[in-house]
Structure 1
Amino acid sequence: MPLTTLPPALFLMGPTASGKTASAIHLLESGLPVELISVDSALVFKDMDIGTAKPTAAELARAPHHLIDIISPEEAYSTAQFRDDARKLMDDIIARGKLPVLVGGTMLYFNTLQHGIHDLPQADPALREQLHAEAALIGWPAMHAKLAVLDPATAARLEPGDSQRVERALEICTLAGKPMSELLAEPAQDALPYRLLKLALLPSDRAALHARIALRFDAMLAGGLLDEVESLRRRYQLSLDLPSMRCVGYRQAWEYLDGQIDMRGLRDKGLAATRQLAKRQLTWLRGMDDVESLDCLGSDLPEQVLQRVQAFLDTSHGA
């Protein structure tokens, strides 16, 4: 199908604290015919509001987002589930005569949605148990070093302490008999049939973004992050192995509540983890194709986003 005949959609992407939510709400309140879909692996969890920087109840009332508060913190939500849910929502939004605006910072979700799903081996509980046992003996940095031998390309983009992704990469190498990076280089299945405007909100000054991250993390602590995690542990059957509790801020709050670190350690580790998250997000964005960048530190960012989207829609209508 020619590109100009495909329905339009917007990817509004950026690292944490880049102003994505404010820009998305501005689009909606400008009067443009848009609907918002959250692209965030943390915002899917119910009752996890403070540590995820979830849009407030007032913001969601003004600008509803699909795919927020859809599962319990006890559950998992796969990339494949996101892709299926987002594809259906996009089709429904187009059928209503509106523009799907996908906004968030989970770059793997964006990538999989656009390019389709690669044929990777399914999780193997027995193998994962074996990998967990090995990691308990030698530590995740050593497991990362093992991955660097089997799959240097994947190891190079993962942090040694990123246990979840290191484990998955080792699992794939073992089950597939070849590196995950090699599998991901193969054509994916069922790419997205949309004409995309991909806007990346990037910082012109990394230090300024880090300052924003620090202000926001301090606001989370002042706003009751520890109380939120205490409440979650009372209400749900949780452990640090669950995806919800691996979210930035929640693991560190858990460790504080268990007496493993003090308040300074909580803040230092939380900030370091958030900065690492932003670094990974920026690495993803700089590796994506056909991305238009806007300075997320600009005071008129929401208006810049609006103007670019209006121009995109004008082009779409004229096509």
Structure 2
Amino acid sequence: MNKTRIVAIVGPTAVGKSQLALELAVRINAEIISADSMQVYRYLDIGTAKPTPDEQKKVKHHLIDILYPDEEFSAALFRQEAGEAISNVDGQGKVAIVAGGTGLYIKALTGGLFKGPGADQELRRVLKKKAVLAGNDCLYRELSELDPVTAARLHPNDSSRIIRAIEVCRLTKKPLSEYHEKHSFKDSPFDTFKIGLYIDRQDIYSRIEKRVDRMIAIGLVDEVKCLLDMGYTRDLNSMQGLGYKQITGYLLGEFSLDEAMLQVKQGTKKYAKRQMTWFRADPEINWYGYPYDYSRIIQKTKEFLEA
């Protein structure tokens, strides 16, 4: 059976994935599927660098604003939702471009997921309570001891994935990374052309600093305040995201706005570094360095789709 051909655009934050996705979508008659774990949430717009209304009018986007901030999302749910979106796009005779920096989502979609033990709700309740009382850092340190490989690829604030990794370790007595190593991750109904974008480290850091400054300038503080006023609490996974956690701390009087901005910039730089480590491990990615040769990327994409 012929597999549906899709395009994936990956790379670290602020590298230019969204811009390329828009340009490519116009050229190859495509729609865009967001592979960003934060853009699924309504009301989280500025801090997630969500496509603007004009951009979403220009090209149809999927998996944006599909959940409220107090709802849970996962790689398994992403695979399901993205698969349905791809089927709909393909049914219209169009191409699906999956664009985003959440590496686990891309891996889940294009290579399948490790089917681990079922959820232990009592254990999860205990771990969530521990995170509330002692902070996410406490859980992250525990995971670092149990499974340093998995800990290295997760953000310390990514409590849901940290809890899942600890859960697997405790229930099976084996680290999650060991299961991932044994899994072939070839269980996919898609034939994927993977495009990776990269920029010199200092340049990406400069872009991140400018992006954070702009987010503050266009209203990130007010966006977070509105979320808090609506009753969305800081312990939610959505509110633990970069920018939202730190600005919440500022609004609650824990530190100054300058300190919050510094934390966002430092955290985002570390996140970008982890993203590159993740994507560099994928031999299927076709890498393009800045300045990007859009015409060459478009040509190679068309060759893949027409082969």
TM-score by length of 2: 0.91
Counterpart contact for 1:46–1:71, Cα < 8 Å:
yes
Aligned to 1:19: 16
Aligned to 1:312: 304
Paired letter, 1:15: P
Map 1:1-319 → 2, pairs under 5 A: 1=1, 5-30=2-27, 32-132=28-128, 134=130, 141=137, 143-158=139-154, 163-187=159-183, 191-203=187-199, 205-235=200-230, 237-295=231-289, 297-298=290-291, 300-314=292-306, 316=307
Quote how far apart the aligned CAs of 1:161 are: 6.1
Quote how far apart the aligned CAs of 1:148 are: 3.9
Quote how far apart the aligned CAs of 1:37 are: 0.9
CA distance in structure 2 between the aligned counterparts of 1:210 and 1:66, rounded to whole angstroms: 29
Quote how far apart the aligned CAs of 1:28 are: 2.3
Counterpart contact for 1:39–1:110, Cα < 8 Å:
yes
Counterpart contact for 2:158–2:240, Cα < 8 Å:
no
Paired letter, 2:63: L
Distance of aligned partners of 1:34 and 1:162 in 2 relative to their CA distance in 1, 3 Å threshold: closer
Counterpart contact for 2:33–2:61, Cα < 8 Å:
yes
CA distance in structure 1 between the aligned counterparts of 2:68 and 2:296, rounded to whole angstroms: 36
**Between 119-128 and 256-265, the greater mean CA deviation after superposition:** 119-128
Paired letter, 1:62: K
Unpaired runs of 5+ residues, structure 1, are none
Counterpart contact for 2:154–2:162, Cα < 8 Å:
yes
CA distance in structure 2 between the aligned counterparts of 1:250 and 1:55, rounded to whole angstroms: 18
Distance of aligned partners of 1:33 and 1:138 in 2 relative to their CA distance in 1, 3 Å threshold: closer
Distance of aligned partners of 1:22 and 1:88 in 2 relative to their CA distance in 1, 3 Å threshold: same
Counterpart contact for 2:132–2:235, Cα < 8 Å:
no
Counterpart contact for 2:157–2:240, Cα < 8 Å:
no
CA distance in structure 1 between the aligned counterparts of 2:45 and 2:140, rounded to whole angstroms: 32
Paired letter, 1:311: E
What percent of counterpart residues are identical?
37
Counterpart contact for 2:143–2:151, Cα < 8 Å:
yes
Distance of aligned partners of 1:150 and 1:80 in 2 relative to their CA distance in 1, 3 Å threshold: same
Counterpart contact for 2:25–2:97, Cα < 8 Å:
no
Counterpart contact for 1:119–1:188, Cα < 8 Å:
no
| Structure 1 vs Structure 2 CA RMSD | 2.2
CA distance in structure 2 between the aligned counterparts of 1:263 and 1:156, rounded to whole angstroms: 29
Q: SS of 2:182's equivalent?
A: coil
Quote how far apart the aligned CAs of 1:190 are: 7.7
Counterpart contact for 1:23–1:305, Cα < 8 Å:
no
CA distance in structure 1 between the aligned counterparts of 2:11 and 2:254, rounded to whole angstroms: 32
Counterpart contact for 1:118–1:183, Cα < 8 Å:
yes
Quote how far apart the aligned CAs of 1:24 are: 1.0
Deviations 1:225-283 (A, max 9, x none): 00011111222x31222121011100011001001110111111010111122112111
Q: SS of 2:76's equivalent?
A: helix
